[in-house]
Amino acid sequence: MVGARAQPVRLRRFVLIGFDTLWRTSRTQVAGIVQTVESSFSVSSHRDFLTLMSWPLQSDFIGMLKNPPVGFRDPELKQCTVEINQLGQPKARSGNFATVYRGFRPDGGEFAIRVFNRRQDERLAHYRAISEYLEGRAISSVVRFQYDQQGIRSSADGKLYPLLTMEWIPGTTLFEWIQVRCQEKHFEALLIAAEAWARLVRELAEHEVVHGDLQHGNVMVSPETQFKLVDYDCMAVPSLLGRRNLETGLPPYQHPGRNGDTELFSGLDNFSALVIYVALRALAASPALWHTYVVQPAYDRILFREDDFRTPPSSPLYRDLLKSPDQQVRDLAHYLFELARHDLRDVPRVDELLLRCESNRVAAGQARPRSFRSTAFPRERTAGEEPVPASPHPSLSRPNPATGGTLRRGRRAGSSPANAQPPRLGNLASERTAGTGQGVRPSVEGPLPTSVTAASQRPGTEGARRAWLWWFVGSAAIPVLLAILTTLMLLFWRSL
């Protein structure tokens, strides 16, 4: 009888111990999830959130824009007027980080008023450094601007906040300008634009300025047919090199390997500059490409897509560029797609690639025994096409032994032999010329490595999302599971 009573007591004690263990384990898991979520957000993130909440709304600035003598601190801005929309409010052009308004000076001059949407100390320091560096430097494509740490007043608290003013650029975007030229089949205008673009990129490099987001929307074509660059959120000057880029730019103009962790360096614009240059040269040779790859699919960018660089062999544009009537377009397109698989820092400047193409054309007329082609995306030879002879890459100042003089930049379309093909790109990264600011890198032979995608290098955001997901799942599932187990244990307890 005693043994029969002792057995239920032991069983009840075992159930209580199991229930207590389960409860402690669940509490530990929940605490771990909460700790993971908290650790995924840094102190700076909380600080940014608080400063965002304390930053004035655009409506607070709009009230001051309607009353410039009160809203602005600068005496000259106090005398200006702001463009008004149909509702009688300042006409805003909203952006990610700032909102732009159009101002008019008493003499009729126009300028842009850039009011920041939120506080970001790193970006504000970024603009201060750029403004100081550009002071006294004349760069034809860069619009001068003035940054004032206390330029505009908020109607909410009466305090002064940062303001940026710059010259208003009339004209059209590069996309709109190209569209009209292709419809008119104005080959020469597109070819001249390509040469002007090469000069623009060269001028930026000479002044050690990096734009950081070269794309069709940030290139304005003035009524005088001059290129002007706008949107300097990604711009870098020597004092900013080595810092993390604040934005990654617009694909597909940017290199596939660029991401939020990419550091600012002197060659950051090389890939996007090459994309635009190749597009201009390709359209100058075949304007019909615009209708095929932009008008017909209602695409809003210049020819290229991200998928073209991701899988070139299956890209119709890649195949069409390699069939271009302009030999230099074929060469440059071959380089462009291969460089998309190289490291971002290995992409050379446009001038260097033009010299490489020139060297290839000169060498094509000489008899050499072996081919110098890339193995990454081999070009298909046409009927009767001979292998490409090898040739050393000449420097910008060293005379070429094949010609006895210094190489000049590219020729017009159709001036090169039909059988010329680009040489192997493997040694291109190591063949840097003096004065380019690039370090000497080891040559890369054989198939090119695949670039690291941007998604694989953003662990912070993905980790935070996963942590939040587990937190929500855990907070919902654990109480339900505990309730079910408690009910079952109580029923079992009563049965004993």
Residue with tokens 């210094």: 406
pLDDT at residue 380 greater than cutoff 50: no
* Surface-to-core class of residue 113, CB atoms within 10 Å of its CB (0-12 exposed, 13-18 middle, 19+ buried): buried
Kindly state the average pLDDT of the residues 195-216.
95
Q: Which residue has the higher pLDDT, 155 or 416?
A: 155
Q: What is the DSSP string of 72-137?
A: BSSTTGGG-EE-B-TTSSB--EE-SSEEEEEEE-TTS-EEEEEEESS--HHHHHHHHHHHHHHTT-
Query: How do residues 336-360 score in pLDDT, each as one tens digit?
Result: 999 999 999 999 999 999 998 888 7
Global pTM exceeds 0.85: no
**Residue 295: DSSP 8-state:** I
Kindly state the average pLDDT of the residues 205-230.
93
Residue 359 is predicted with a pLDDT of: 82
**237-265 b/e (C-beta count within 10 Å ≥ 16 → b):** beebeeeebbebbbbbbbbbbbbeebebb
Q: What is the 3-state secondary structure of 218-286?
A: HEEECCCCCEEECCCCCCECHHHCCCECCCCCCCCCCCCCCCCCCECCCCCCHHHHHHHHHHHHHHHHC
Query: How do residues 108-129 score in pLDDT, each as one tens digit?
Result: 899 999 998 888 778 788 888 9
Three-state DSSP state, 42: coil
Residue 205 CA to residue 491 CA, distance in Å, equals 79
Q: Which residue has the higher pLDDT, 438 or 12?
A: 12
Residue 248 CA to residue 232 CA, distance in Å, equals 13
Mean pLDDT of the chain: 75
Residue 422 is predicted with a pLDDT of: 43
Residue 52 is predicted with a pLDDT of: 44
Beta bridge partners of 100: 93, 114
Confidence band, pLDDT 50/70/90 cuts, at residue 432:
very low
C-beta separation of 111 from 83 below 8 A: no
Kindly state the average pLDDT of the residues 438-449.
35
pLDDT at residue 308 greater than cutoff 90: yes
Residue 380 CA to residue 319 CA, distance in Å, equals 10
What token pair was written down for 32? 């771990």
